[in-house]
Chain A
Amino acid sequence: MGEAIVITSGKGGVGKTTTTANVGTALAMMGKKVVLVDTDIGLRNLDLVLGLENRIVYDLVDVIEGRARLEQALVKDKRFEERLVLLPAAQIKDKTAVEPSQLAELVHELVSRFDFVLLDSPAGIEQGFQNAISGATQAIVVTTPEVSAIRDADRVIGLLEKNGLGRAKLIINRLRIQMVKKMEQASVDEIVQILGVDLLGVVPDDEIVIKMTNEGTPTVMDTRSKAALAYRNIARRMLGESVPLLKLEEKQGMFNKVLKMFGMS
């Protein structure tokens, strides 16, 4: 039996889909069997981020409405020996095409075949969100350090608690350490203090994420960037390892060290 984890945020554009793709890929890289379910019916884009758009034949709604068997709709990512699989959303339908109970049944089916079922939730708290959480037994809430995103994350955590997903984990995305230092952005501690949930990881703001997302390659496959390391650490924590938080400080260059030595910086 695997785990069914919904990845949600309330606010749009904070990085739910990017997080789902990268965390899922990281888990697959570590040898786990992972299925990513795009529940954002009508606004599907998890396939783009994974670079699998051209391989979609059937989708989630086809499976639920009986036009295709589950196996036919699952898109296997060849980069990971079929350990990473996508169940894409329908693009021509909307959120009302699926009932929470139908999705819960589908997730139940997937849980028996995979180690991890990651459900990429749409933004908002309406039916799409209700669908996404219906089959999940755990939740990951993604936020950025902006007040609006934190406020929506708080609202969503409240709704998750009401739906029996009380121990949600938090990922803080797109943290800019320079802005935190200048007190222009909320710090990790402040966000965790307000939301009162366990922190799963912090992903630094990194242009490489945008670049690689546009190319359809999950950032986590790049070995150098800090964002990739952050995603891998998140995956390791999900597997039960205790990994300390990344030090997000910029590395000091030699020149700056010399300046500091002379008290000039």
Chain B
Amino acid sequence: MIAHLNWTATAVFIGFFLLVTVLGFVAAHWKRGDLTDLHEWGLGGRRFGPWISWFLIGGDLYTAYTVIAVPAVVYAIGAFGFFAVPYTIIIYPILFVVFPRLWRIAHRKNYLTASDYLLGRYGNKWLELAVAFTGILAKMPYIALQLVGMEKVIQALGFQGEGLWSHLPLTLAFLILALYTYRSGLRAPAMIAFVKDIMIYIFVIAAVIIVPMKLGGYGVIFDSAREAFAQKTAASGGKVTAGLLLAPQQVWPFITLALGSALALFMYPHSMTAILAARDAHSIRVNAITLPAYSILLGLIALMGLMAHAAGIKVANPQDAVPQLFLAIFPDWFAGFAFAAIAIGALVPAAVMSIGAANTFTRNIWKPFIHPQMSAQEEAVLAKLMSLVVKLGALVFILFVPTKFALDLQLLGGVWMSQVVPAVIFGLFTRWFSGWALLWGWAVGMILGTWLAWTPSAWVPVHTLFGSGVAVYNGLIGLIANILVATLLSAVLPDKAHDETREEDDEEFPKGKPAL
């Protein structure tokens, strides 16, 4: 099991893991609040200023899975994997325009989740349920994939095992994570995010300087990657399209995948949790300007997929490309450092995700439908339990279900999350839409998006429109149908429900003037 262990790398890895474990437990005492209140446990008491929010949101959105998966796609097919860059460019104007508004309403009304807002805005608890359900459904495979990211680096340390034993380190790490999240709530990932993000910045900056020095410069890296892609395309007989640039048939999928994923991103409960935990709307605006620093980092990480080709790394599973690149280029202690950064990079989002899912389950499924008279303390007790259940669920998922299944679900998760965009965003700017119309729009988008993604052989991200050769991301097709249905039905079913977030509550709506 440990005969091939890289001892130096493993020691550094364990050292950092222990450090963040201590931080995770200590975090309970940071910015002290009453952790038996869900608002404190699940949202850190909304006390995070621009700096902490920057580390927390950055640490939350740019996950371990991202660090492994994006360069893996670039390693496998080249330029197409770079869709992550336009995607991260689009998300920040959205953050800047939409979320300060949502934050203000959520702060005033003490909303903890997107669905809380929807219940207040449209008075429709079925819409609330639909959005809560979508969030939790899309969240589970995402947490599971964080574990995949972690397991990749644990394997790269040289840990081998048979059957369930092979998952022993992962299980241990995750149980520890579950315990300190249970105790400290959102404060734990917020504190650990400092360590994680600084480590990731160090390892990426080192990689983009040292790897080209060893391999003969960026020109050589790009040229040898081009060579490798050309060979790969030729060897597959044209079935695989890989290259340094987008092939014509990749252009529309590239564009629509970037746009659709960008719209979906902030709908995930973990993004919502990290944003609503900000101290004020100002912190969110500042972060829309400063968070792109992480996007540059992501772009550089994506390049590692190309560096792996230049370093002559040949792996069957593209997700092993980056770990193997590090082992080939760097001394053991630094590889251990980088692997620890990736593993800790899985802990932060996994913690925030489980908290986001737990908040949503408690506030928007259990409370309205099972036990309406819950106190804030009872909410916190249930949410803490749910955070354990969610994490154990993700662990069981990874131990017993093929990874392929989690990947397919993650793909569908993006399609599903983009279907809550009209419900969450439109109501902040206009009074045209009614709750029931949005619910129907959601249902149409969910069914259409999922149906288009299904083919007899595999789940696919894009669908070719009417034999035109233009392939469009299914989430986006679903979203367009969703918006059409919601717009038309709103004319038939006008918004008559009580809206407790009305403009007099929000100073950004001009008084006495209709909103549009």
> Do A and B belong to a common assembly?
no
